[in-house]
Amino acid sequence: MSKLLIIGASVLQLPAIKKAKELGHVVAVADYNPSAIGIPYADRYYNASTIDVEAICDVAKDFRPDGIMTLATDMPMRSIAAATTLLGLPGISMDTAVKTTDKWEMIKAFKEHDVESPWFYIIERENDWDFVRKRITSPCVLKPTDNAGSRGVILVETVQKLDEAYQYSKSQSRGGKVIVEEYMRGNEVSVEVIVYKGKVHILAITDKLTTGAPYFVEMGHSQPSRLPEKDLLKIRDLTSRAIKAVGIENGPAHVEVMQTKQGPKMIELGARMGGDCITTHLVPLSTGIDMVKATIDIALGIEPDIIPKFSKGSAIRFFKVPCGVIESIEGVESSRKTEGIKEIILNKKVGDMVSEIHSSLDRVGFVIAQGKDVSEAISRCEINGVTINVR
């Protein structure tokens, strides 16, 4: 029996908390929210912010875990790196934590290691913006250096919209820094990875569906990717080089790539499992690999089992709902009984307002399905019988 400290106790970390308990580990969680959904499932709770490095180190010194981890979020990575370094536990270095949570440091690492990525400018202060705006061309993408979930990401198609877009991105940046980068056209994929003792293991490549311009919020994912094998080979190579550029030696990675006419280019990566149920649900449904268990094992210094058990298709689709007030929701229970449907989750209820989707927080809910191949999985998602009526 090992002691595991999980940083965060939200719905994102819940699969890890449950899995660790299922494996017989003693689990402590740290979260600033005393009502976080995962707390009742843990053996011990610490009231500490996941991004407070000093507080998380104090928690680690008190609990003395055998491993420290989180799931599907970048925010605690610096705290985790500091705590694992302090206790001599498996994990990433603080240098790697910075490079995988600050988009400026990340893209600089890519450029230094000749990893294909878009051109970029960093805006740290208003004077920088005055200088840069005269030198960039549209279309381009603006994004905060330190946020996630598509928050603050916006496409600018005309120079007249640059100032408005800059203020929007800056408002979503905790440190006030914004990146302006090349707008890449093509097919976006994510690559789900486990790194163990420096060796990069690619478990799955995920096709993505987004809202498109201007906010690029993800509305669907499916595995395995339907891109040609020649493109997938290049994506795998780019992924491995990007991971080495930021220094990930042990743990999961979620790598986002754009397959352009010029070949694959990096968007960004995280030293953690992917969100949106990609790694907690889609990877096991398409490969049989339990990526949550693998991540727990690596945190505890145990060699992970990452051998595929089968090859199937899996998909998630987020509900497309018009703006308005939800009047009724129908067909949820009957749809859950449909062959291949594995999960239906609603984030809103009758009476709630549905707004335009600017970030992942605005999505209403989703359906997850499995099929004999990816086409069948997608089809099962799209023909589900859930109806959400608004007025």
What ranges do the domains of the chain cover? 3-89, 119-182, 185-311, 314-390
What confidence score (pLDDT) does residue 69 get? 99
Q: What is the DSSP letter of 331?
A: S
Segment (H or E) for 366: strand 365-371
Instruction: Output phi, psi for 100, to 5 deg.
Output: -100, 0
Q: Which residue has the tokens 């055998």?
A: 66
Residue 64: phi and psi, rounded to 5, are 50, 60
> How far from chain centre, in Å, is Cα 26?
26
Of 138, 149, 144, give the one whose Cα is nearest residue 210. 149
At residue 149, the pLDDT reads: 61
Q: What is the CATH number of domain 185-311?
A: 3.30.470.20
The pLDDT tens digits along the chain (391 residues) read: 899 999 999 999 999 999 999 999 999 999 999 999 999 999 999 999 999 999 999 999 999 999 999 999 999 999 999 999 999 999 999 999 999 999 889 999 999 999 999 999 999 888 888 888 888 877 999 999 887 767 788 999 888 888 999 999 999 988 888 999 999 999 999 999 999 999 999 999 999 999 988 888 999 999 999 999 999 999 999 999 999 999 999 999 999 999 999 999 999 999 999 999 999 999 999 999 999 999 999 999 999 999 999 999 999 999 999 999 999 999 999 999 999 999 999 999 999 999 999 988 999 999 999 999 999 999 999 987 899 999 9
Instruction: Say if CB 288 and CB 298 are below 8 A apart.
Output: no
Burial bucket for residue 128 (CB in 10 Å: 0-12, 13-18, 19+): middle
Phi, psi of 285 (to 5 degrees): -70, -30
Q: What's the pLDDT score for residue 145? A: 87
Would you say 245 and 112 are in contact if contact means Cβ atoms under 8 Å apart?
A: yes
Residue pair 174/131 in contact (Cβ under 8 Å)? The answer is no
Query: What is the rounded distance in angstroms from the CA atom of residue 71 to the CA atom of residue 60?
Result: 17
Q: By C-alpha distance, which of 318, 334, 293 is closest to 15? A: 293
Dihedral through CA 238, CA 244, CA 249, CA 255, nearest 10? -40
Q: How crowded is residue 8: how many other Cβ atoms within 10 Å of its Cβ? A: 29
Do 119-182 and 3-89 fall under one CATH topology? no
Task: Name which CATH class applies to 3-89.
Answer: alpha beta
Eight-class DSSP state of 190: E
For residues 125 and 198, what is the distance between their CA atoms, to the nearest angstrom? 37
- The predicted pLDDT at position 292 comes to 99
- DSSP structural state of residue 338: S
CATH of 119-182, one of 3.30.1490.20, 3.40.50.1000, 3.40.350.10, 3.30.390.30: 3.30.1490.20
Please give the distance of CA 216 from its chain centroid, rounded to a whole number.
14
> Which residue from 94, 29, 82, 40 is spatially nearest to 57, judged by alpha carbons?
82
Q: pTM score, two decimals?
A: 0.92
C-alpha to C-alpha distance for 168 and 229, rounded to whole angstroms: 39
DSSP H/E element including 8: none
The alpha carbons of the chain give a radius of gyration, in whole angstroms, of 21
Give the number of other CB atoms < 10 A from CB of residue 115.
22
User: Residue 36: its pLDDT value, please?
Assistant: 98
CATH of span 314-390: 3.30.470.20
Which pLDDT score is estimated for 130? 84
